[in-house]
Structure 1
Amino acid sequence: MNIPAMPPLVKIRSERDQMSAIERRIADFILENAHLLRDYSSQQLASALGVSQSSVVKFSQKFGFRGYPDLKYSIGQALARNGGDAPAGAPPETDDAYVRLEEGLRRSKTAAEEETRLINPRERIEAIVGLVDGAGKVFVCGLGDDGLFAREFAMRLSLLGVLTVHHADPILMMANLSAARPGDVLLLFSEFGQLPQLCQLSRQFQACEGKVVSITRHTANPLRAHADATLVVSAHDPAPHVAQLLYRSSLQYLLDFLFVLLCQANPDRHRQLNINLERIQHLLDS
């Protein structure tokens, strides 16, 4: 049996946004009814969803399984290891609405952060750390809510002694690209990766022989497609406002880990961080 290293429900959820309409229908049923899947044959599942049996089989094979029975078995094993039949993000069974909301959000955040960790493999993260640490300058840009994360991360890079150019205005950033040199890095924050201004910035920066790192949702999008390296975030929930919270939480986790790795990768950076933090504290105390 060929079972992928990534837990099957995590893999399915993280890939959902890149699926076809039929695949999403199958995925949503499996994610919402994982604990009932043992009672369904491939034909019964296909009939319940109004799709062909071959679609169910192909869906299973897409995730590295020989067929639907292997997928069903793997999901059952994963649920058993997790200590029960409830999905990771399922709220506890209680009549107290406050407790349901609190525990449900906590579980959903934990699941989203774990999915985000799994879809950003170590080799990819370490390569991006190497790019940033070795860059002469790091340009950072994000618009709207993405701009808040871009600004904070640019500040953290500055504390490490990285020469950072940050703008929340793509026109000002475009003007600053005249200072870009080969080996410089551009970090572009864009949740959905669709903004044409950022895509244009990416092309112009690469024309200067710089490296572009995109930070987006784990979806097929033009910014991610043309970047030299990518960080991706998994955050799914039926309620849009909760999905947005999960995105912010998972993105913050990812950036925090990247920052910690940068601190450890270069002792000189770590020393500069301590010096800068001490200077800031003196300024606050004066």
Structure 2
Amino acid sequence: MQNAQNLISHLNAIVEDLSQNEQRIAHWILNEPSKVTTMTSQDLAQQCGVSQSSIIKFCKKVGLSGFPALKIALSADVARAQDAEQIHGDIFSDDPLSEVAQKMYNSKVAALSETLRGNSSEQLAQAVDKLVEANRIIILGVGGSALVAADFASKLTKLGKAVVQGNDAHVHLANLARFDENDLLFLISYSGKTKEILVASDYARQHGIPTLYLVGPGTNIEPMAHELRLRCLASENLVRSSSIATRTAQLAITDLLFILHAQRAEDMPSKIQDSQALVNRIK
């Protein structure tokens, strides 16, 4: 690491290349940098569920002489966060353009890589099965996830799917009351705790409506037999203004599902061309 005062940025850039134990340590540091500055290496080891020697090795791995050097580097980052306005994640108001670009790129690449690793080919194939088999589909997201839901709904209609569109969650819930076991509810939420998402999930479970979840790692939703959960993994510590990395990961999954679905669709090129030709009439 060339600059000890950029430890948080450095960890965000390399976290995807670390071992499982090293990632556990890195994520703990990224989520609680201020706390780490007051801890001993033994304290951090206990919090991360690793040995004290693993903490020391981690410090060496990131280019520091030991745990005291790590605490000094973190203290500098924390102090800087207090002096400069934090815009997003580890991007600050006084960062030069080149550094902002690199940090943003690293954040997006990390989210894409972690999300790809977090979903098996079998899970993705099962998700496409549910999309193909569904007579009707509701895609529900709230806030930033609503933008992802609208984008995916638009893509699926080009394949001839009957998708309930719109940004009004109340309208989606009203339509859900008419769904049955031959339809599909697709819920997109990083937290998995949004009230609209929980209400929709609870109703679908009570009425046996197949449900596909795209949620973050902190959700408590555990899929039932007729449900399937896909993961969106994005490390946006401290400040998650606009949830940029999260939305990047969500769009990557929905785009992948669209392409996989298109592979199975009959006469897919002509369906997309017909849709575009009709839209072109109003241009």
Q: Which TM-score tier does this pair reach, normalised by the shorter chain?
A: 0.5 to 0.7
Q: Which residue of 2 aligns with 1:208?
A: 207
Instruction: Decide whether the 8 Å contact of 1:12 with 1:27 is kept in 2.
Output: no
Q: Which residue of 2 aligns with 1:51?
A: 43
Q: Deviations over 1:223-256 (max 9, x none)?
A: x556811222111133514682111212122211
CA distance change for structure 1 residues 11 and 168 in 2, over 3 Å: closer, same or farther? farther
Instruction: Decide whether the 8 Å contact of 2:144 with 2:247 is kept in 1.
Output: no
**What TM-score does the superposition give when structure 2 sets the normalisation length?**
0.68
Q: Which residue of 2 aligns with 1:9?
A: 18
Q: Which residue of 1 aligns with 2:120?
A: 121
Q: Deviations over 1:55-90 (max 9, x none)?
A: 66x447xxxxxx977xx69x96xxxxxxxxxxxxxx
Instruction: Decide whether the 8 Å contact of 1:264 with 1:270 is kept in 2.
Output: no
Per-residue deviation at 1:193? 0.8
Per-residue deviation at 1:218? 2.0
Counterpart Cα distance in 2 of 1:10 and 1:142: 33
Q: Which residue of 1 aligns with 2:249?
A: 250
The one-letter code sitting in structure 2 at the alignment partner of 1:202 is: S
Counterpart Cα distance in 1 of 2:230 and 2:255: 13
Q: Deviations over 1:146-169 (max 9, x none)?
A: 211111111111111001113433
CA distance change for structure 1 residues 101 and 235 in 2, over 3 Å: closer, same or farther? same
Counterpart Cα distance in 1 of 2:220 and 2:155: 27
The one-letter code sitting in structure 2 at the alignment partner of 1:9 is: L
Q: Which has the higher contact order (CA 8 A, sep 6+)?
A: 2
CA distance change for structure 1 residues 191 and 274 in 2, over 3 Å: closer, same or farther? same
Q: Secondary structure at the match of 2:190?
A: coil
The one-letter code sitting in structure 1 at the alignment partner of 2:170 is: I
Q: Which residue of 1 aligns with 2:111?
A: 112
Q: Secondary structure at the match of 1:234?
A: coil
Q: Percent identity?
A: 20
Instruction: Decide whether the 8 Å contact of 1:193 with 1:216 is kept in 2.
Output: yes
CA distance change for structure 1 residues 53 and 157 in 2, over 3 Å: closer, same or farther? closer
Instruction: Decide whether the 8 Å contact of 2:180 with 2:207 is kept in 1.
Output: yes
Q: Secondary structure at the match of 2:18?
A: helix
The one-letter code sitting in structure 2 at the alignment partner of 1:51 is: D
Counterpart Cα distance in 2 of 1:242 and 1:204: 31
Counterpart Cα distance in 2 of 1:145 and 1:249: 11
Name which of structure 1's ranges 197-206 and 134-143 shifts more when overlaid on structure 2. Answer: 197-206
Counterpart Cα distance in 2 of 1:175 and 1:55: 45
The answer on 1:229 being equivalent to 2:228 is: yes
Counterpart Cα distance in 2 of 1:260 and 1:236: 26
Q: Which residue of 1 aligns with 2:279?
A: 280
The two structures, once aligned, show a CA RMSD in angstroms of 3.9
How many residues get paired?
Answer: 235
Counterpart Cα distance in 1 of 2:22 and 2:151: 29
Per-residue deviation at 1:276? 1.2
Counterpart Cα distance in 2 of 1:153 and 1:255: 6
Counterpart Cα distance in 1 of 2:19 and 2:170: 39
Q: Which residue of 2 aligns with 1:144?
A: 143
The one-letter code sitting in structure 1 at the alignment partner of 2:123 is: R
Counterpart Cα distance in 1 of 2:41 and 2:277: 61
Instruction: Decide whether the 8 Å contact of 1:151 with 1:166 is kept in 2.
Output: yes
Instruction: Decide whether the 8 Å contact of 1:140 with 1:167 is kept in 2.
Output: no
Q: Which residue of 2 aligns with 1:28?
A: 28
Q: Secondary structure at the match of 1:231?
A: strand
Counterpart Cα distance in 2 of 1:242 and 1:165: 29
Per-residue deviation at 1:273? 2.2
Counterpart Cα distance in 1 of 2:190 and 2:98: 30
Per-residue deviation at 1:272? 1.9
CA distance change for structure 1 residues 130 and 239 in 2, over 3 Å: closer, same or farther? same
Question: Any stretches of 5+ residues in structure 1 without a counterpart?
Answer: 1-6, 17-24, 33-46, 61-66, 77-90
CA distance change for structure 1 residues 197 and 29 in 2, over 3 Å: closer, same or farther? closer
CA distance change for structure 1 residues 52 and 219 in 2, over 3 Å: closer, same or farther? closer
Instruction: Decide whether the 8 Å contact of 2:137 with 2:164 is kept in 1.
Output: yes
Instruction: Decide whether the 8 Å contact of 1:236 with 1:243 is kept in 2.
Output: no
After TM superposition, list the pairs within 5 Å mapping 1:84-233 onto structure 2: 97-222=96-221, 228-233=227-232
**What TM-score does the superposition give when structure 1 sets the normalisation length?**
0.67
Q: Secondary structure at the match of 1:201?
A: helix
Counterpart Cα distance in 1 of 2:19 and 2:192: 22
